[in-house]
Structures are given as C-alpha cells and as structure tokens.
Structure 1
Amino acid sequence: MAYPYKKVFEAVERALFDMRSPDVEAKVQREKLDMFKNYATRKLSDDDYFAIMVKVVFYSGFRAETVKAKEAVIFGHFPDLDTVAGHGKKDVKRVLLDTAMIRNERKIQACVDNARVMQALIQEHGSFRSFLLSFGQLKALEDVLLLKETLEAKFGYLGGVTVYHFMTDVGLPVLKPDRVITRMFLRLGLIEDKRQLLKTVLHGQKFAAATGLPIRYIDIVFVLYGQASATAYGITQGVCLDSPRCSACSLRKVHCRYPLDQASATAP
C-alpha cells in the first residue's frame, strides 16, 4: 500500500492552523506561512546568497533563538560579500573581541574563507546564481546531489545537515533533514534511523509531489509542528516534541510509531 503522503501532510497542516494562538490573527498566520511558498522564485543577489550562508554557518550546532538574537551583531561584522572577503587576521581578532558576538573563531574564519570562495565562483561564472545553475535547472535529483557534493567540498561548515539547510533556504528543492524533521519522519515510519539524511530528503520530495506544494512550505509546516514554539506564527507550543503531546496529535492512532521510534532513535 502506497504511503499516504498527501493525507498525512494535510493532517499536520490542518492541526497547525487549529493550534493558532488568539494573539495572532488567522490571516496573519496564513500570510507568514505563504511566504515560504515563494522561496524558489525569489531573485537573490550575490550578497543575499552570502547572507544566507553566514546565517547557516552560525546556526550550525546552535539554538535558533541564540543566533536570531545575535543577527544584528553578526551582520554588523559581516555586512556584505566584498567587505568580508577582504577581512584579514586583524579583522577576525576584532570580531572575537566583541562580547556581544557569538565568539566562535572557527565559524568566524569560515565566513571569511567562504566569502573568498564565493567571490572566486562569481568571477568565474558571473554570479553565484549562475554557478548554481551550472549544475542544471536543479529539478532533477542527480543535479541537486552533484551541487550538494560541490558545496560541501568548497565551503566551510556546509556539511551534513548544514549543506541541506543552505540549499533549502536559497530555494532549492530539498528540505533540511534537521533533528525536528528526522524525529517526525522516524515516528511516521518513513525512516529507520535519524542519520538517514538523504532518505529524509527524498521523502520530503514525495510530500511535495503528492501535495503540489513547494518543498520549503512542506519543511516549515513540519518544523512548526515539531518544535517547541514559534510565537511569530501563532504556535505557542508544538506537538511532535522530544516528549510529544500525543493527545493533541491527529496522526497518533493511524500513522505514528511513537514510542516504537525510541528503539531506533540514534542521534544524528
């Protein structure tokens, strides 16, 4: 029997809207979520791509709330591609001395190194977008995976989940197989182990194909359902948490394997 991707996603999406806090109007919630349907059609500049990469580097291994609270400080030190590409050792030391900054030397140096790599690719291809498209229209899975391997090889801190995070946020047709998504897909019986990143990505594409919805929208709906809270979207408490609120989940009796997932819940 074929997996009911469309039915499962629609149940999660419907529950997400039902969970909306009265502090956020339904129209506002809908508009905020609908923005994620347009990620693939955005026109991004070279500086936009670099800013996304900087955020992804700092998000790696850190709590989202920690990085978000520091974004203004981070971009004060990394304002644009050309400026950062010109940073030297003294600039890196200056950033490290800022007590308001996330003072992780490896991440700071990776942003400088990545700026130089990106600058070289732009000089070769005309723009970073042209570099991405040199792998094809990036709709076929093999093109996406070839690009993924190249990004991992060329850029610091783009590996494992993080490379998918970057690809997702620039609008490519993959979701990021982070701990929230893998936890949910494990409980839904789609993967056997949280380390199955590619399999998680492939199931994300199946959700998109079954629903006709953009992959970035699929990603955000699952993430909001499975993370602790997202007050800006009207979600004060998620459902599919580490300790799930099963009584609030419409998938519990039909599609969910919890607590059977604990037997194979290997940490990524």
Structure 2
Amino acid sequence: MTVVGADGRARPTWAATDPLLRHYYDTEWGMPVRDERGLYERICLEGFQAGLSWATILRKRPAFRAAFADFDPDVVAGFGDDDVERLMRDPGIVRNRRKIAATIGNARATVALRDDGGLARLVWSFRPEETPRPSTQADVPTVSAESTALSKALRQRGFAFVGPTTMHALMEAVGILDTHLVDSHRRGSSGVWPA
C-alpha cells in the first residue's frame, strides 16, 4: 500500500514522510546505475547499512564520499593501515573496522575485475527475466535466486559485506529490479522494466 503525499504522488510508507528518503525515492532509488564508480559506491553503502537504517547511511553519504575519495576505486584500493585508523576516527561515517576493511578490499576487487569485463558487466549480468509486481510492502521480496547468485559471484572475486539480502537491496536500488509498488508514481520509471 502506498501513501499519497501532499503533492499527489503515491509512495511506499518508507519514503512518505522523511524528506531525505522521499527525495532519494523520487530521484534516485531504482534508477539504473551502470558505471563502475556508482556501483562500487552503492555496494559499499549497502554493506555499511547492514544493521542500520538506510536514512542513517543517506545522512552520512557526503561524509562517506569525502572519507573514501568519492568512492574512486583506484584511490581507495591504495588505502593502508593509516587510512583505516583515520577512518576509525571519522565521526561522519559508520566506524566499523570490518566494514571499512571491506570497502578497501572491495575497491581492490573492483580494480581486479576490469580484466574480466568490469564490475558493471558482472552485476548487471544477474538481471532476472522478470521483476516483481508488488501491491503491498509485504509483497516485496528481500532476497532472490539472482541476488544469491550475485552474492556468491562477488564473494568469489574478493568482495565482502555482499550477502544475498544486501545484494537484493542493491539490485533494487540500481534498477536491476523494479520493486516499486504497482500504484507508486515511480513504477516503471527506470526504463529497464515496463510499468
């Protein structure tokens, strides 16, 4: 079920009240991301989100971008122990040593993937033949065969914090899946899937 806002647009409840989440939903969530840096950033942010709210990550996103060189994989791949300690002291980000180490490791894995077609090619290769058509939030799946396979493929290539549920959220966020509710004003807006 969606909530119709003062602007007359129907959104899921999670995007209906918080202005930051509403803007993210209206302008970014579910739109195709096909570039290496964009996908690397979103994989890392989805990993940082594990156990936290997405609103927390969005509020910290500018600080994450500053801390991780605007998610430039080439720069972050060169981070060492001093950078980890610097990041652990940065109050603007989520200071979790394992997630910070995963972000650095994921940068190295992203760079290594270039010899095998690149991150975008790999991630988008898991696009399913169909996308869900949820009527209510309860109808929205949180994992799929494709997200499980993507998780396995990324782990085999050295990525961390890329579990099946996290990768399902990534696939929704970057337009590989369209899990907008069928009565949402955003349903079908990605151009990847029909409304």
**What TM-score results when the alignment is normalised by the length of structure 2?**
0.66
- Across the aligned residues of Structure 1 and Structure 2, the Cα RMSD in angstroms comes to 3.4
The offset of 1:152, in angstroms, is 4.5
Per-residue CA distance 1:86-133 (angstroms, 9 max, x = gap): 1111111111122333211111111000111111112321x3222235
The offset of 1:59, in angstroms, is 0.9
Contact 2:150 2:164 in 1 (8 A): no
Do the aligned partners of residues 28 and 145 (structure 1) sit closer, same or farther apart at CA in structure 2, a change above 3 Å counting?
A: closer
Q: Which residue of 1 aligns with 2:153?
A: 150
Residue in structure 1 matching 2:8, options 15, 26, 29:
26
Counterpart CA distance in 2 for 1:142 and 1:101 is 32
The offset of 1:83, in angstroms, is 1.1
Do the aligned partners of residues 27 and 169 (structure 1) sit closer, same or farther apart at CA in structure 2, a change above 3 Å counting?
A: closer
Unpaired segments ≥5 residues, structure 1:
1-11, 176-203, 217-268
Contact 1:84 1:115 in 2 (8 A): yes
Counterpart CA distance in 2 for 1:159 and 1:174 is 20
Q: Which residue of 2 aligns with 1:173?
A: 177
Matching of residues 13-52 of structure 1 within 5 Å: 13=2, 16-17=3-4, 20=5, 22=6, 25-26=7-8, 35=27, 39=31, 42=32, 44-52=34-42
Counterpart CA distance in 2 for 1:134 and 1:160 is 15
Residue in structure 2 matching 1:129, options 120, 133, 140:
120
Residue in structure 2 matching 1:69, options 59, 81, 87:
59
- Counterpart residue type for residue 130 of structure 1: R
Contact 1:96 1:104 in 2 (8 A): yes
Contact 2:30 2:177 in 1 (8 A): no
Per-residue CA distance 1:175-232 (angstroms, 9 max, x = gap): 5xxxxxxxxxxxxxxxxxxxxxxxxxxxx9xx87xxxx5498xxxxxxxxxxxxxxxx
Pick which of 145-154 and 111-120 moved more: 145-154
Counterpart CA distance in 2 for 1:93 and 1:44 is 32
After TM superposition, the runs of 4+ consecutive aligned structure 1 residues lying more than 6 A away are none
Contact 2:147 2:168 in 1 (8 A): no
Q: Which residue of 2 aligns with 1:95?
A: 87
Matched positions, count: 160
Instruction: Compare the two structures and name the one with the higher helix fraction.
Output: 1
The offset of 1:146, in angstroms, is 2.9
**What TM-score results when the alignment is normalised by the length of structure 1?**
0.50
The offset of 1:144, in angstroms, is 5.7
- Counterpart residue type for residue 51 of structure 1: E
Q: Which residue of 2 aligns with 1:162?
A: 166
Do the aligned partners of residues 38 and 57 (structure 1) sit closer, same or farther apart at CA in structure 2, a change above 3 Å counting?
A: closer
Q: Which has more radius of gyration?
A: 1
Higher relative contact order, chain-length normalized (CA < 8 Å, sep 6+): 2
Local SS of the residue matching 1:100: coil
